[in-house]
Amino acid sequence: MDRVSSFDEPLKKLLGGATAKVMAEHLDLHTVGDLLHHYPRRYEERGKLTALADLPLDEHVTVVAQVADARILMFNNGRGKRLEVTLTDGSGRLQLVFFGHGVHKPHKELLPGRQAMFAGKASVFNRKMQLAHPTYQLLDASDADEATEAVDAFAGRLLPIYPACKQLDSWRIAKAVDAVLPSARDAVDPLPASLREGRGFTPLPEALLKVHRPQTKADVEDARARLKWDEAFVLQVALARRRYADTQLPAVARRPVADGLLDAFDAKLPFTLTEGQEKVSKEIFDDLATEHPMHRLLQGEVGSGKTMVALRAMLTVVDADGQAAMLAPTEVLAQQHHRSITEMMGELAEGGMLGGSDRGTKVVLLTGSMGMAARRQALLDLVTGEAGIVIGTHALIEDKVQFHDLGLVVVDEQHRFGVEQRDALRSKGKQPPHLLVMTATPIPRTVAMTVFGDLETSVLDQLPAGRSPIASHVVPAKDKPHFLSRAWERVREEVGNGHQAYVVCPRIGDDAEEAEGKGGKKAKAKKQAADEDPEKRPPLAVLEIADELRKGALAGLSVEVLHGRMHPDAKDDVMRRFAAGDVDVLVATTVIEVGVNVPNATAMVIMDADRFGVSQLHQLRGRVGRGSAPGLCLLVSEAHEASPARARLSAVAATLDGFELSRIDLEQRREGDVLGQAQSGVRSSLRMLTVIDDEEVIAAAREEAVAVVAADPELEHLPELRTVLAALLDKDREEYLDKG
């Protein structure tokens, strides 16, 4: 078997069809290499064998003992059951406890008189020592040698616990790994020899053996350090090659023109740009002036003036005879951008129209819900080049949409927009257009280096002059109901002072199942569960809360709703009236999270705030305090004071620094959500590396990767690295990186 093919061997050859099928369908493992890279999630320390009389508290222990008796007890009015088993080993007694569905198997197997090994964490309950849900292995009392061997194998080892699934538990995966471990000898080592030796890394075959079957904790550390490096390095080489390839692509240079549209726009600005806006604009203008496509990520806090920076870049491209397209994730946002950009440009946005400026251009909107006539006109303006700027949703990507000369694509809120869609729009140019990706979600440096590793990064970290501070407070609605009453009084006070407010809820409401009379058993069961445990009640809903507020705390005020299921025209109508000041309070879902700009809105009450992520709360809060009056954000929660949910809310209330919050958010959610489904290519290749904790590894690997690719872009002298890259970045992942 040659070096590469043993890793490519299908699992069904070694493990049999049934096991291989489950691994393929539920764990996405298909080859020997896949399984060898399916690393243990953690290791269980079984501890040395311990006599029952000497059990240490709060430690993992392994005991051999005999079952004295076992009984099932009911609790919670007969709805719950618990199995209690008493063990004895001659030195003392110990209680085991199993709950819920976990009682059936031990109830059948742990009969009085049976001898077994048990492993778990020793704790005290009702002044008795116990093990809750221990793992166990029955011993055959008739064969003393076999029992001794089993005890030795079971106790005192680091037992790998694998990411498993319902159909295949960890110990069966461990058995399968045993079958393929000999192939670890054939591992192709991606690290250049000089790098491997310079950093003193364990050889790869040894690292694979150590990670799956460690003898000591030091083995685990060794293996992890090596395997993390491989992942970080291979990924960074892929990204460095992508950046290098991008520098080889042709693009039309778009240089600023004196006395053009940009100068006319700058001359009528009623304020000066911040230093940050000037600096980032220069970075963008420098990129636009080169003859290969710009790929830049613009990060900026909510309200830091990203749209202004993007608009100036678009005007530069129009000056240089190109067109610019801005892509927004929702219709509400596209309409809003169109409104604010045409307002900022004034007569410069009316090129070719009566009263328009002779230096102006047309700014058109293109969304899925537009009428036929308006849509036909917009398409015509794009293909003739009459419209220099187009703002729209993914409707912009449809085949029918043709540009005269697309020079720049601006993507707003990247994390809401699939890479395929972005790529489709880029293919609309005669040559690849320049690309500017904007996000208001501050991205920690490590994520920027991995998820957006092929984009250069610019950060806007100053707020423009005149933006007001936002005070944030947690409102513990359950412990202190009068705090919630006070929150509604504060909303009334803000409205009384001529301002407006948002109330945000996690759910729309009116679900068929929960509507009065239709719910039947399900609705009753939900209500009963909610009464017993507030964590289980459905999240608060827009329609219900709006109704309660109109009848109660905010009676007499103009209260309207906004959510994703409304017809686009109705949504736009509500937003227009809210922006015009005709609506006092807008009760909405997170549709207002991104880009909604109403400077007169000063207060926000977020209901069930603990049901939102940290970054999302920060985004929502950025909708208030956009004018000259200070903003107020009230985070309403029924979560218990000592709960992690409340700790999260306190963190949000304590700082307005989005980067600090994004770090907290990342630590809470770990990688899965960050890399997201759309970026499965990278996600599925990161098995050992954690984007949060391994900043130093990622930064060092990026440096090494850049040097390697600069010296040898095709990796001609590094065939092993090329082989591993090809295996890791199969077609889908390569395409993912292509799309940035």
| Confidence category of residue 516, pLDDT binned at 50, 70, 90 | very low
Region 34-60: mean pLDDT is 77
638-659 residue pLDDT tens: 888 778 888 889 988 988 777 7
> For the chain, what percent of residues have pLDDT higher than 70?
81
pLDDT score for 365: 94
SS3 163: coil
| Confidence category of residue 177, pLDDT binned at 50, 70, 90 | very high
392-448 residue pLDDT tens: 987 787 778 899 999 999 988 755 555 566 667 667 878 889 989 888 777 777 677
Region 245-269: mean pLDDT is 89
More confident residue, 314 or 679: 314
Tokens of 229: 């490096």
pLDDT score for 310: 95
Q: What single-letter amino acid sits at 213?
A: R
pLDDT at 680 over 60: no
- Host H or E run for residue 402: none
pLDDT at 313 over 90: yes
| Confidence category of residue 681, pLDDT binned at 50, 70, 90 | very low
pLDDT score for 472: 92
pLDDT at 363 over 70: yes
Lowest-confidence pick of 18-32, 153-167, 268-282: 153-167
pLDDT score for 139: 75
Sequence-separated (6 or more) residues with CB below 8 Å from residue 77: none
Selection from 685, 294, 732, 284 nearest residue 451 by Cα: 685
Region 437-460: mean pLDDT is 76
Strands 80-88 and 115-125, by their bridges, are unpaired
Region 146-150: mean pLDDT is 65
Most confident of 148-162, 455-469, 494-508: 494-508
| Confidence category of residue 685, pLDDT binned at 50, 70, 90 | low
Say if CB 740 and CB 420 are below 8 A apart.
Answer: no
Long-range contacts from 704-713, C-beta under 8 angstroms, 24+ separation: 704/195, 704/233, 704/236, 705/233, 705/236, 705/237, 705/239, 705/240, 706/236, 706/240, 708/192, 708/237, 708/240, 709/237, 709/240, 709/241, 709/244, 710/244, 713/241, 713/244
More confident residue, 597 or 520: 597
DSSP 48: S
pLDDT at 373 over 50: yes
The runs of H, that is alpha helices, within 385-480 are: 419-426, 445-450
Most confident of 169-178, 491-500, 657-666: 491-500
pLDDT score for 415: 53
579-623 residue pLDDT tens: 899 999 999 988 776 556 788 999 999 999 988 888 788 888 888
Q: What is the pTM of this model?
A: 0.64
Q: Where are the beta strands (DSSP E) in 349-477?
A: 362-366, 387-392, 406-412, 434-439, 456-460, 470-476
Task: State the Cα–Cα distance between residues 147 and 138, nearest whole angstrom.
Answer: 9
pLDDT at 677 over 60: no
Region 492-502: mean pLDDT is 95
Q: Tell whether the torsion through CA atoms of 192, 194, 197 and 201 is positive or negative.
A: negative
pLDDT score for 464: 64
More confident residue, 453 or 521: 453
pLDDT score for 740: 41
pLDDT score for 559: 94
Q: What single-letter amino acid sits at 567?
A: H
